[in-house]
Structure 1
Amino acid sequence: MTHQPLQPSPEHYPSYRPPSRKQNPRFATAHHKETLAKAFHAGADLYDEIRPEYPSFIGKLAPGKRALDIGAGTGKLTLSLPHDVVLACDPSPDMVRVLQSHGISCWRGTAEDLAVASGSIDAVFCAQAWHWVDAQATCLELDRVLTPGGKTVLVWNTIDVHADPWVLRLTRIMHSGDVQRPDFKPEVHEPLVISEEHHDFWQQTLKAEQLHTLMHSRSYWLRANEKTRQRMTGNLNWYLYEHMGFQPGTEVKIPYRTDAFVLSRYAG
Protein backbone atom coordinates (compact mmCIF):
# COMPACT_ATOMS: atom_id res chain seq x y z
CA MET A 1 0.00 0.00 0.00
CA THR A 2 1.38 3.40 -0.96
CA HIS A 3 1.93 5.69 2.00
CA GLN A 4 0.52 9.16 1.37
CA PRO A 5 2.22 12.20 2.93
CA LEU A 6 0.18 13.68 5.74
CA GLN A 7 -1.49 17.02 5.11
CA PRO A 8 -2.92 17.99 8.50
CA SER A 9 -5.70 20.48 8.85
CA PRO A 10 -5.70 21.28 12.57
CA GLU A 11 -8.41 23.90 12.86
CA HIS A 12 -7.86 24.07 16.60
CA TYR A 13 -4.17 24.93 16.31
CA PRO A 14 -4.12 28.52 15.06
CA SER A 15 -1.06 30.74 15.32
CA TYR A 16 -0.92 33.20 18.17
CA ARG A 17 -0.84 36.17 15.79
CA PRO A 18 -1.84 36.91 12.18
CA PRO A 19 0.51 36.54 9.20
CA SER A 20 2.96 39.27 8.26
CA ARG A 21 1.73 42.27 6.29
CA LYS A 22 5.22 43.51 5.41
CA GLN A 23 6.22 44.41 1.88
CA ASN A 24 9.78 43.23 2.54
CA PRO A 25 11.89 41.98 5.46
CA ARG A 26 12.85 44.81 7.79
CA PHE A 27 16.24 45.43 9.36
CA ALA A 28 16.95 47.77 12.26
CA THR A 29 20.09 49.21 10.65
CA ALA A 30 22.39 48.57 7.70
CA HIS A 31 24.82 46.93 10.14
CA HIS A 32 22.04 44.64 11.39
CA LYS A 33 21.26 43.63 7.81
CA GLU A 34 24.94 42.93 7.09
CA THR A 35 25.28 40.87 10.27
CA LEU A 36 22.27 38.71 9.40
CA ALA A 37 23.53 38.14 5.86
CA LYS A 38 26.87 36.91 7.19
CA ALA A 39 25.06 34.06 8.93
CA PHE A 40 25.15 32.28 5.56
CA HIS A 41 28.96 32.29 5.51
CA ALA A 42 28.62 28.82 7.07
CA GLY A 43 26.18 25.94 6.72
CA ALA A 44 26.18 25.63 2.93
CA ASP A 45 26.06 21.82 2.88
CA LEU A 46 22.96 21.81 5.07
CA TYR A 47 21.37 24.51 2.92
CA ASP A 48 22.04 22.47 -0.20
CA GLU A 49 20.56 19.35 1.37
CA ILE A 50 17.24 20.70 2.63
CA ARG A 51 16.20 23.82 0.71
CA PRO A 52 13.71 23.12 -2.10
CA GLU A 53 14.28 23.55 -5.83
CA TYR A 54 12.55 26.25 -7.91
CA PRO A 55 9.71 25.71 -10.41
CA SER A 56 11.05 24.90 -13.87
CA PHE A 57 9.41 27.91 -15.54
CA ILE A 58 11.68 30.38 -13.73
CA GLY A 59 14.64 29.86 -16.06
CA LYS A 60 12.48 30.63 -19.10
CA LEU A 61 11.40 34.08 -17.87
CA ALA A 62 14.63 35.71 -19.10
CA PRO A 63 15.90 34.10 -22.33
CA GLY A 64 19.29 34.50 -23.97
CA LYS A 65 22.64 32.77 -24.26
CA ARG A 66 24.47 34.07 -21.18
CA ALA A 67 22.93 34.01 -17.71
CA LEU A 68 24.26 35.16 -14.35
CA ASP A 69 22.82 34.01 -11.03
CA ILE A 70 23.65 36.51 -8.28
CA GLY A 71 23.47 35.51 -4.63
CA ALA A 72 23.35 32.01 -6.07
CA GLY A 73 23.78 30.18 -2.78
CA THR A 74 24.59 26.53 -3.47
CA GLY A 75 23.11 26.59 -6.97
CA LYS A 76 19.52 25.56 -6.28
CA LEU A 77 18.33 27.76 -9.16
CA THR A 78 21.62 27.95 -11.08
CA LEU A 79 21.65 24.26 -11.98
CA SER A 80 18.20 24.50 -13.58
CA LEU A 81 18.93 27.46 -15.88
CA PRO A 82 18.69 26.45 -19.58
CA HIS A 83 21.09 29.06 -20.99
CA ASP A 84 24.20 28.12 -23.00
CA VAL A 85 26.53 29.83 -20.52
CA VAL A 86 25.61 30.04 -16.84
CA LEU A 87 27.72 32.01 -14.37
CA ALA A 88 27.15 32.51 -10.65
CA CYS A 89 28.41 34.58 -7.75
CA ASP A 90 27.76 34.70 -4.02
CA PRO A 91 29.40 36.63 -1.16
CA SER A 92 29.69 33.52 1.04
CA PRO A 93 32.89 31.48 0.60
CA ASP A 94 31.08 28.39 1.88
CA MET A 95 28.31 28.77 -0.69
CA VAL A 96 30.88 29.28 -3.47
CA ARG A 97 32.64 26.09 -2.35
CA VAL A 98 29.44 24.09 -2.91
CA LEU A 99 28.75 25.90 -6.20
CA GLN A 100 32.19 24.87 -7.43
CA SER A 101 31.55 21.26 -6.39
CA HIS A 102 28.58 21.27 -8.78
CA GLY A 103 30.84 22.31 -11.65
CA ILE A 104 29.40 25.82 -11.89
CA SER A 105 31.61 28.66 -13.11
CA CYS A 106 31.43 30.99 -10.12
CA TRP A 107 33.23 33.46 -7.91
CA ARG A 108 32.83 35.25 -4.62
CA GLY A 109 31.15 38.57 -5.26
CA THR A 110 28.24 40.86 -4.50
CA ALA A 111 25.27 42.11 -6.50
CA GLU A 112 26.52 45.69 -6.26
CA ASP A 113 29.84 44.84 -7.96
CA LEU A 114 29.39 41.92 -10.35
CA ALA A 115 32.88 41.85 -11.88
CA VAL A 116 31.68 41.09 -15.43
CA ALA A 117 32.03 43.18 -18.58
CA SER A 118 29.45 45.81 -19.44
CA GLY A 119 26.70 44.59 -21.75
CA SER A 120 27.83 40.96 -21.48
CA ILE A 121 24.86 39.24 -19.79
CA ASP A 122 21.48 38.46 -21.38
CA ALA A 123 19.67 37.25 -18.26
CA VAL A 124 20.27 37.85 -14.56
CA PHE A 125 18.60 35.80 -11.84
CA CYS A 126 18.47 36.55 -8.13
CA ALA A 127 16.74 33.93 -6.00
CA GLN A 128 16.13 34.31 -2.30
CA ALA A 129 18.69 37.13 -2.06
CA TRP A 130 17.29 40.49 -3.22
CA HIS A 131 16.34 41.55 0.30
CA TRP A 132 20.04 41.32 1.26
CA VAL A 133 21.31 43.74 -1.41
CA ASP A 134 21.41 47.51 -1.80
CA ALA A 135 18.57 47.67 -4.32
CA GLN A 136 19.44 51.07 -5.80
CA ALA A 137 23.13 50.29 -6.33
CA THR A 138 22.30 46.84 -7.69
CA CYS A 139 19.80 48.17 -10.23
CA LEU A 140 22.49 50.48 -11.60
CA GLU A 141 24.94 47.58 -11.78
CA LEU A 142 22.39 45.40 -13.56
CA ASP A 143 21.83 48.16 -16.11
CA ARG A 144 25.58 48.15 -16.73
CA VAL A 145 26.03 44.40 -17.26
CA LEU A 146 22.83 43.57 -19.19
CA THR A 147 22.70 43.47 -22.98
CA PRO A 148 20.09 45.61 -24.78
CA GLY A 149 16.77 43.94 -24.05
CA GLY A 150 18.30 41.89 -21.24
CA LYS A 151 16.10 41.01 -18.28
CA THR A 152 16.46 40.29 -14.58
CA VAL A 153 14.33 37.83 -12.61
CA LEU A 154 13.89 38.16 -8.85
CA VAL A 155 12.58 35.00 -7.19
CA TRP A 156 11.43 33.93 -3.74
CA ASN A 157 10.41 30.49 -2.49
CA THR A 158 8.43 31.12 0.70
CA ILE A 159 6.56 28.77 3.01
CA ASP A 160 2.89 29.56 2.37
CA VAL A 161 1.65 30.52 5.81
CA HIS A 162 -1.85 31.21 4.45
CA ALA A 163 -2.37 27.61 3.34
CA ASP A 164 -3.14 26.20 6.79
CA PRO A 165 -3.04 27.54 10.39
CA TRP A 166 -0.60 24.85 11.52
CA VAL A 167 1.97 26.05 8.95
CA LEU A 168 1.88 29.63 10.22
CA ARG A 169 2.59 28.48 13.75
CA LEU A 170 5.38 26.23 12.46
CA THR A 171 7.11 29.20 10.83
CA ARG A 172 6.87 31.18 14.07
CA ILE A 173 8.63 28.40 15.94
CA MET A 174 11.31 28.02 13.26
CA HIS A 175 11.68 31.81 12.86
CA SER A 176 11.31 31.47 9.11
CA GLY A 177 8.91 31.81 6.22
CA ASP A 178 6.52 34.57 7.28
CA VAL A 179 8.36 37.70 6.17
CA GLN A 180 6.34 39.14 3.28
CA ARG A 181 2.66 39.53 2.53
CA PRO A 182 1.28 37.65 -0.51
CA ASP A 183 0.99 40.78 -2.68
CA PHE A 184 4.43 42.18 -1.83
CA LYS A 185 6.51 44.08 -4.39
CA PRO A 186 10.32 44.11 -4.21
CA GLU A 187 12.17 47.41 -4.05
CA VAL A 188 13.29 48.32 -7.58
CA HIS A 189 14.97 51.51 -8.84
CA GLU A 190 15.46 53.22 -12.20
CA PRO A 191 16.39 52.48 -14.84
CA LEU A 192 14.72 49.12 -14.09
CA VAL A 193 11.02 48.49 -13.56
CA ILE A 194 8.89 45.43 -12.85
CA SER A 195 7.47 44.36 -16.22
CA GLU A 196 5.99 40.95 -15.29
CA GLU A 197 4.88 38.99 -12.23
CA HIS A 198 4.46 35.24 -11.89
CA HIS A 199 3.18 33.28 -8.89
CA ASP A 200 3.02 29.56 -8.25
CA PHE A 201 1.92 27.29 -5.39
CA TRP A 202 3.32 23.84 -4.70
CA GLN A 203 4.38 21.48 -1.89
CA GLN A 204 7.59 20.01 -0.55
CA THR A 205 7.31 16.63 1.16
CA LEU A 206 9.57 16.22 4.20
CA LYS A 207 9.75 13.79 7.06
CA ALA A 208 8.85 15.36 10.40
CA GLU A 209 12.43 15.25 11.67
CA GLN A 210 13.65 17.04 8.52
CA LEU A 211 11.82 20.14 9.69
CA HIS A 212 14.64 20.48 12.22
CA THR A 213 17.12 20.43 9.33
CA LEU A 214 15.08 23.08 7.52
CA MET A 215 15.14 25.22 10.67
CA HIS A 216 18.91 24.79 10.90
CA SER A 217 19.32 26.28 7.40
CA ARG A 218 17.72 29.60 8.39
CA SER A 219 19.66 32.75 9.27
CA TYR A 220 18.05 33.01 12.72
CA TRP A 221 19.37 29.58 13.70
CA LEU A 222 22.78 30.12 12.11
CA ARG A 223 23.48 33.23 14.17
CA ALA A 224 21.84 31.96 17.40
CA ASN A 225 23.80 30.93 20.50
CA GLU A 226 23.58 27.44 21.97
CA LYS A 227 20.96 28.39 24.57
CA THR A 228 18.64 29.81 21.89
CA ARG A 229 19.16 26.76 19.70
CA GLN A 230 18.24 24.43 22.55
CA ARG A 231 15.05 26.41 23.15
CA MET A 232 14.12 26.31 19.46
CA THR A 233 14.79 22.57 19.29
CA GLY A 234 12.61 21.95 22.33
CA ASN A 235 9.80 24.10 20.98
CA LEU A 236 9.83 22.37 17.60
CA ASN A 237 9.94 18.90 19.16
CA TRP A 238 6.96 19.79 21.33
CA TYR A 239 4.99 21.19 18.40
CA LEU A 240 5.67 18.32 16.01
CA TYR A 241 5.51 15.31 18.31
CA GLU A 242 3.23 16.37 21.17
CA HIS A 243 0.97 19.12 19.89
CA MET A 244 0.59 17.87 16.30
CA GLY A 245 0.98 14.20 17.13
CA PHE A 246 3.47 13.39 14.36
CA GLN A 247 5.91 10.52 14.64
CA PRO A 248 9.53 10.43 13.43
CA GLY A 249 9.35 9.32 9.82
CA THR A 250 5.90 10.81 9.24
CA GLU A 251 5.84 12.51 5.85
CA VAL A 252 4.39 16.01 5.91
CA LYS A 253 3.53 18.29 3.00
CA ILE A 254 4.92 21.79 3.44
CA PRO A 255 3.09 24.32 1.21
CA TYR A 256 5.20 26.87 -0.65
CA ARG A 257 4.54 29.82 -2.86
CA THR A 258 6.96 31.11 -5.50
CA ASP A 259 6.94 34.80 -6.38
CA ALA A 260 8.88 35.87 -9.49
CA PHE A 261 9.31 39.40 -10.81
CA VAL A 262 10.80 40.18 -14.22
CA LEU A 263 12.68 43.48 -14.42
CA SER A 264 13.23 45.36 -17.67
CA ARG A 265 14.73 48.72 -18.50
CA TYR A 266 12.23 51.56 -18.32
CA ALA A 267 11.07 52.28 -21.87
CA GLY A 268 9.26 55.54 -21.25
Structure 2
Amino acid sequence: MPDSGPGPTGATPRPVPGLPARAFTMDAKRRRELARAFKAGGAHYDAVRPSYPDAALDFMVPPTARDAVDVGAGTGIFTAQLLGRGLKVGAVEPSEDMLAVLRDRLPEVDAVPGTGEETGLDASSADVITYAQAWHWVDPKAASAEASRLLRPNGQLALVWNQLDVSVPWVHRLARIMHAGDVHRPDFVPPLGPEFHAPESGTWTWEQALTPEQVIALAKSRSYYLRAGAATRARVEHNLTWYLFDHLGHVPGVPFGLPYLTHAWRARLRA
Protein backbone atom coordinates (compact mmCIF):
# COMPACT_ATOMS: atom_id res chain seq x y z
CA MET A 1 0.00 0.00 0.00
CA PRO A 2 1.20 3.53 -0.66
CA ASP A 3 2.39 5.37 2.44
CA SER A 4 0.80 8.65 1.39
CA GLY A 5 -2.79 7.64 0.80
CA PRO A 6 -5.85 9.85 1.17
CA GLY A 7 -6.20 11.61 4.52
CA PRO A 8 -9.36 12.55 6.40
CA THR A 9 -11.53 15.15 4.73
CA GLY A 10 -10.53 18.62 5.87
CA ALA A 11 -7.39 17.37 7.59
CA THR A 12 -4.41 19.70 7.64
CA PRO A 13 -1.80 18.39 5.19
CA ARG A 14 1.34 17.07 6.81
CA PRO A 15 4.29 19.37 6.14
CA VAL A 16 6.60 18.57 3.29
CA PRO A 17 10.02 17.39 4.47
CA GLY A 18 11.69 20.76 4.01
CA LEU A 19 15.19 22.16 4.02
CA PRO A 20 15.81 22.55 7.76
CA ALA A 21 18.08 25.05 9.47
CA ARG A 22 20.50 22.23 10.27
CA ALA A 23 21.28 21.98 6.55
CA PHE A 24 23.31 25.16 7.04
CA THR A 25 24.91 24.20 10.36
CA MET A 26 25.98 20.58 9.84
CA ASP A 27 29.67 19.83 10.11
CA ALA A 28 31.87 19.39 7.06
CA LYS A 29 32.13 15.62 7.49
CA ARG A 30 28.35 15.15 7.46
CA ARG A 31 27.98 17.49 4.49
CA ARG A 32 30.53 15.46 2.51
CA GLU A 33 28.73 12.23 3.41
CA LEU A 34 25.42 13.54 2.09
CA ALA A 35 27.00 15.07 -1.02
CA ARG A 36 28.44 11.68 -2.02
CA ALA A 37 24.97 10.91 -3.39
CA PHE A 38 25.91 13.07 -6.39
CA LYS A 39 29.33 11.55 -7.11
CA ALA A 40 27.75 9.54 -9.94
CA GLY A 41 24.68 9.83 -12.14
CA GLY A 42 25.50 13.14 -13.80
CA ALA A 43 23.92 12.19 -17.12
CA HIS A 44 20.66 11.20 -15.39
CA TYR A 45 20.64 14.43 -13.35
CA ASP A 46 21.19 16.50 -16.48
CA ALA A 47 18.34 14.77 -18.31
CA VAL A 48 15.63 15.32 -15.69
CA ARG A 49 16.42 18.47 -13.70
CA PRO A 50 14.70 21.69 -14.88
CA SER A 51 16.27 24.97 -15.92
CA TYR A 52 15.29 28.30 -14.33
CA PRO A 53 12.89 31.07 -15.41
CA ASP A 54 14.35 33.96 -17.37
CA ALA A 55 12.85 36.35 -14.83
CA ALA A 56 14.98 34.76 -12.11
CA LEU A 57 18.13 35.42 -14.12
CA ASP A 58 17.00 39.01 -14.73
CA PHE A 59 16.80 39.36 -10.95
CA MET A 60 20.07 37.56 -10.13
CA VAL A 61 22.48 38.95 -12.73
CA PRO A 62 23.41 42.65 -12.59
CA PRO A 63 22.95 44.32 -15.98
CA THR A 64 26.58 45.49 -15.98
CA ALA A 65 28.04 42.06 -15.12
CA ARG A 66 30.67 40.65 -17.50
CA ASP A 67 32.17 37.71 -15.60
CA ALA A 68 30.25 35.10 -13.62
CA VAL A 69 31.25 32.08 -11.56
CA ASP A 70 28.67 29.34 -11.10
CA VAL A 71 29.53 27.39 -7.94
CA GLY A 72 28.13 23.92 -7.36
CA ALA A 73 27.44 24.02 -11.08
CA GLY A 74 26.52 20.35 -11.37
CA THR A 75 26.07 19.43 -15.02
CA GLY A 76 25.85 23.06 -16.11
CA ILE A 77 22.09 23.61 -16.31
CA PHE A 78 22.28 27.11 -14.82
CA THR A 79 25.77 27.68 -16.26
CA ALA A 80 24.32 27.38 -19.76
CA GLN A 81 21.70 30.00 -18.96
CA LEU A 82 24.41 32.40 -17.75
CA LEU A 83 26.26 31.83 -21.02
CA GLY A 84 23.06 32.67 -22.84
CA ARG A 85 23.22 36.10 -21.22
CA GLY A 86 26.51 36.80 -22.97
CA LEU A 87 28.58 36.42 -19.81
CA LYS A 88 32.01 34.88 -19.56
CA VAL A 89 31.34 32.02 -17.16
CA GLY A 90 33.52 29.85 -14.97
CA ALA A 91 32.13 26.79 -13.20
CA VAL A 92 33.15 25.08 -9.97
CA GLU A 93 31.86 21.61 -9.05
CA PRO A 94 33.18 18.94 -6.64
CA SER A 95 31.73 15.91 -8.49
CA GLU A 96 34.01 14.72 -11.28
CA ASP A 97 31.08 12.84 -12.81
CA MET A 98 29.00 15.99 -13.07
CA LEU A 99 32.00 17.97 -14.29
CA ALA A 100 32.44 15.50 -17.13
CA VAL A 101 28.87 16.15 -18.30
CA LEU A 102 29.32 19.91 -17.96
CA ARG A 103 32.58 19.92 -19.93
CA ASP A 104 31.01 17.83 -22.68
CA ARG A 105 27.99 20.09 -23.11
CA LEU A 106 29.78 23.42 -22.49
CA PRO A 107 33.37 23.12 -23.71
CA GLU A 108 33.72 26.91 -23.76
CA VAL A 109 33.35 27.08 -19.96
CA ASP A 110 36.41 26.90 -17.73
CA ALA A 111 35.06 24.19 -15.42
CA VAL A 112 37.23 23.21 -12.46
CA PRO A 113 36.91 20.87 -9.47
CA GLY A 114 36.40 22.71 -6.21
CA THR A 115 33.95 23.72 -3.51
CA GLY A 116 32.23 26.88 -2.44
CA GLU A 117 34.64 27.17 0.45
CA GLU A 118 37.73 26.66 -1.75
CA THR A 119 37.23 27.41 -5.43
CA GLY A 120 40.90 27.85 -6.31
CA LEU A 121 39.98 30.80 -8.56
CA ASP A 122 41.69 34.20 -8.76
CA ALA A 123 40.64 37.00 -6.44
CA SER A 124 38.54 39.86 -7.81
CA SER A 125 37.74 37.88 -10.95
CA ALA A 126 33.92 37.97 -11.03
CA ASP A 127 31.03 40.40 -11.04
CA VAL A 128 28.50 37.82 -9.87
CA ILE A 129 28.79 34.49 -8.04
CA THR A 130 25.81 32.15 -8.49
CA TYR A 131 24.61 29.07 -6.64
CA ALA A 132 21.76 27.15 -8.26
CA GLN A 133 20.33 24.44 -6.02
CA ALA A 134 23.65 24.37 -4.15
CA TRP A 135 23.99 26.82 -1.22
CA HIS A 136 22.77 24.20 1.27
CA TRP A 137 25.80 22.05 0.34
CA VAL A 138 28.32 24.57 1.67
CA ASP A 139 29.35 26.15 4.96
CA PRO A 140 27.64 29.53 4.48
CA LYS A 141 30.24 31.52 6.43
CA ALA A 142 33.23 30.02 4.61
CA ALA A 143 31.48 30.16 1.24
CA SER A 144 30.51 33.80 1.82
CA ALA A 145 34.13 34.65 2.60
CA GLU A 146 35.28 32.89 -0.56
CA ALA A 147 32.62 34.62 -2.67
CA SER A 148 33.70 38.00 -1.31
CA ARG A 149 37.31 37.18 -2.26
CA LEU A 150 36.26 36.37 -5.83
CA LEU A 151 34.00 39.35 -6.34
CA ARG A 152 35.02 42.75 -7.62
CA PRO A 153 33.80 45.89 -5.80
CA ASN A 154 29.98 46.14 -5.92
CA GLY A 155 29.81 42.48 -6.91
CA GLN A 156 26.80 40.30 -6.16
CA LEU A 157 26.16 36.86 -4.69
CA ALA A 158 23.02 35.24 -6.11
CA LEU A 159 21.31 32.06 -4.88
CA VAL A 160 18.39 30.22 -6.45
CA TRP A 161 16.32 27.11 -5.82
CA ASN A 162 13.67 25.46 -7.96
CA GLN A 163 11.13 23.73 -5.77
CA LEU A 164 7.83 22.01 -6.30
CA ASP A 165 4.95 24.46 -5.76
CA VAL A 166 3.48 22.87 -2.65
CA SER A 167 0.76 25.52 -2.42
CA VAL A 168 -1.00 23.27 -4.97
CA PRO A 169 -2.54 20.42 -2.91
CA TRP A 170 -1.74 17.55 -5.27
CA VAL A 171 1.84 18.83 -5.64
CA HIS A 172 2.17 19.05 -1.85
CA ARG A 173 1.36 15.37 -1.66
CA LEU A 174 3.69 14.54 -4.54
CA ALA A 175 6.53 16.37 -2.78
CA ARG A 176 5.98 14.25 0.31
CA ILE A 177 6.11 11.02 -1.68
CA MET A 178 9.25 12.19 -3.50
CA HIS A 179 10.85 13.42 -0.25
CA ALA A 180 11.57 16.68 -2.04
CA GLY A 181 13.74 18.11 0.70
CA ASP A 182 14.61 21.44 -0.95
CA VAL A 183 11.18 22.98 -0.37
CA HIS A 184 11.57 26.15 1.69
CA ARG A 185 9.12 27.73 4.04
CA PRO A 186 7.82 31.10 2.78
CA ASP A 187 9.83 33.00 5.40
CA PHE A 188 13.10 31.22 4.63
CA VAL A 189 16.18 33.44 4.24
CA PRO A 190 19.50 31.78 3.36
CA PRO A 191 22.29 32.53 5.85
CA LEU A 192 25.12 34.70 4.54
CA GLY A 193 28.36 35.96 6.02
CA PRO A 194 28.95 39.54 7.19
CA GLU A 195 30.67 40.35 3.91
CA PHE A 196 27.27 40.86 2.29
CA HIS A 197 24.29 43.15 2.74
CA ALA A 198 20.95 41.56 3.70
CA PRO A 199 19.62 39.64 0.68
CA GLU A 200 16.68 40.70 -1.47
CA SER A 201 14.38 37.95 -2.71
CA GLY A 202 12.11 37.19 -5.63
CA THR A 203 9.73 34.34 -6.47
CA TRP A 204 8.21 33.07 -9.70
CA THR A 205 5.72 30.29 -10.43
CA TRP A 206 5.78 28.26 -13.64
CA GLU A 207 5.17 24.75 -14.98
CA GLN A 208 7.39 22.12 -16.52
CA ALA A 209 5.83 19.67 -18.98
CA LEU A 210 6.75 16.13 -17.89
CA THR A 211 5.40 12.66 -18.47
CA PRO A 212 4.65 10.56 -15.37
CA GLU A 213 7.72 8.48 -16.16
CA GLN A 214 9.85 11.62 -16.17
CA VAL A 215 8.48 12.62 -12.76
CA ILE A 216 9.57 9.25 -11.41
CA ALA A 217 12.98 9.77 -13.01
CA LEU A 218 13.12 13.21 -11.35
CA ALA A 219 12.56 11.60 -7.95
CA LYS A 220 15.46 9.27 -8.68
CA SER A 221 17.79 12.28 -9.09
CA ARG A 222 17.19 13.52 -5.54
CA SER A 223 19.60 12.95 -2.69
CA TYR A 224 17.03 11.11 -0.54
CA TYR A 225 16.54 8.45 -3.22
CA LEU A 226 20.23 8.28 -4.14
CA ARG A 227 21.27 7.67 -0.53
CA ALA A 228 18.50 5.14 0.16
CA GLY A 229 18.72 1.38 0.18
CA ALA A 230 16.95 -0.91 -2.25
CA ALA A 231 13.81 -1.33 -0.11
CA THR A 232 13.30 2.42 0.32
CA ARG A 233 13.89 3.06 -3.37
CA ALA A 234 11.35 0.41 -4.30
CA ARG A 235 8.79 1.94 -1.93
CA VAL A 236 9.29 5.43 -3.39
CA GLU A 237 8.87 4.12 -6.93
CA HIS A 238 5.78 2.09 -5.96
CA ASN A 239 4.16 5.04 -4.23
CA LEU A 240 4.86 7.38 -7.13
CA THR A 241 3.50 4.89 -9.64
CA TRP A 242 0.30 4.52 -7.62
CA TYR A 243 -0.10 8.27 -7.09
CA LEU A 244 0.57 9.38 -10.67
CA PHE A 245 -1.27 6.63 -12.54
CA ASP A 246 -3.91 5.16 -10.21
CA HIS A 247 -4.76 8.17 -8.05
CA LEU A 248 -4.23 11.15 -10.37
CA GLY A 249 -5.08 9.21 -13.53
CA HIS A 250 -2.19 10.31 -15.72
CA VAL A 251 -1.59 8.37 -18.92
CA PRO A 252 1.79 6.75 -19.59
CA GLY A 253 3.90 8.85 -21.94
CA VAL A 254 1.55 11.85 -21.91
CA PRO A 255 3.07 15.08 -20.52
CA PHE A 256 1.30 17.21 -17.93
CA GLY A 257 2.22 20.49 -16.22
CA LEU A 258 4.24 20.10 -13.01
CA PRO A 259 3.96 23.36 -11.02
CA TYR A 260 7.20 24.85 -9.74
CA LEU A 261 8.11 27.82 -7.58
CA THR A 262 11.51 29.39 -8.10
CA HIS A 263 12.92 31.38 -5.19
CA ALA A 264 16.04 33.52 -5.62
CA TRP A 265 18.08 35.85 -3.44
CA ARG A 266 20.70 38.45 -4.32
CA ALA A 267 23.10 40.21 -1.95
CA ARG A 268 25.55 42.98 -2.68
CA LEU A 269 29.12 42.86 -1.42
CA ARG A 270 29.75 45.37 1.33
CA ALA A 271 32.27 48.09 0.52
1:149-200, Cα deviation, whole Å (9 max, x unpaired): 11111111111111x2111111111111563102210011111123422211
Q: 1:91 aligns with which of 82, 89, 94?
A: 94
Q: 1:139 aligns with which of 134, 141, 144?
A: 144
Structure 1 residue identity aligned to 2:178: M
SS at match of 2:246: helix
1:13-41, Cα deviation, whole Å (9 max, x unpaired): 98851346766464894233321111011
Per the TM alignment, residue 62 of structure 1 is displaced from its structure 2 partner at its CA by 2.6
| 244 and 12 in structure 1: CA distance in 2 versus 1, 3 angstrom threshold | farther
Q: 2:258 aligns with which of 245, 254, 259?
A: 254
1:51 aligned onto 2:52? no
| 201 and 260 in structure 1: CA distance in 2 versus 1, 3 angstrom threshold | same
Q: 2:135 aligns with which of 121, 130, 133?
A: 130
1:149 aligned onto 2:154? yes
Contact preservation (8 Å) 1:15, 1:165: no
1:206 aligned onto 2:210? yes
| 28 and 191 in structure 1: CA distance in 2 versus 1, 3 angstrom threshold | closer
Distance 1:178 1:130 in 2: 11
Contact preservation (8 Å) 2:16, 2:176: no
Q: Does 68-77 or 230-239 show the bigger shift?
A: 230-239
Determine the structure 2 residue equivalent to 1:118.
123
Determine the structure 2 residue equivalent to 1:5.
none
Contact preservation (8 Å) 2:197, 2:269: yes
| Structure 1 gap segments, 5+ residues each | 1-10
Percent of matched pairs sharing the same residue? 41
Runs of 4+ in 1 over 6 A off after TM superposition: 11-15
Normalised by the length of structure 2, the TM-score is 0.87
Q: 2:225 aligns with which of 209, 221, 238?
A: 221
| 83 and 116 in structure 1: CA distance in 2 versus 1, 3 angstrom threshold | farther
Per the TM alignment, residue 93 of structure 1 is displaced from its structure 2 partner at its CA by 0.7
Per the TM alignment, residue 42 of structure 1 is displaced from its structure 2 partner at its CA by 1.0
SS at match of 2:198: strand
Structure 2 residue identity aligned to 1:88: A
1:111-145, Cα deviation, whole Å (9 max, x unpaired): 00111111111111111000110000111111111
Structure 2 residue identity aligned to 1:76: I
Per the TM alignment, residue 57 of structure 1 is displaced from its structure 2 partner at its CA by 3.2
Distance 1:178 1:66 in 2: 28
Structure 1 residue identity aligned to 2:66: K
Determine the structure 1 residue equivalent to 2:79.
78
Q: Tell me the number of residue pairs that the alignment of Structure 1 and Structure 2 aligns.
A: 256
| 12 and 97 in structure 1: CA distance in 2 versus 1, 3 angstrom threshold | farther
1:212-233, Cα deviation, whole Å (9 max, x unpaired): 1101110111111212111111
1:106 aligned onto 2:111? yes
Distance 1:220 1:177 in 2: 8
SS at match of 1:193: coil
Contact preservation (8 Å) 1:19, 1:178: no
Distance 1:23 1:227 in 2: 25
Normalised by the length of structure 1, the TM-score is 0.88
1:65 aligned onto 2:63? no
Distance 2:245 2:156 in 1: 46
| Structure 2 gap segments, 5+ residues each | 1-7
Q: Does 71-80 or 17-26 show the bigger shift?
A: 17-26
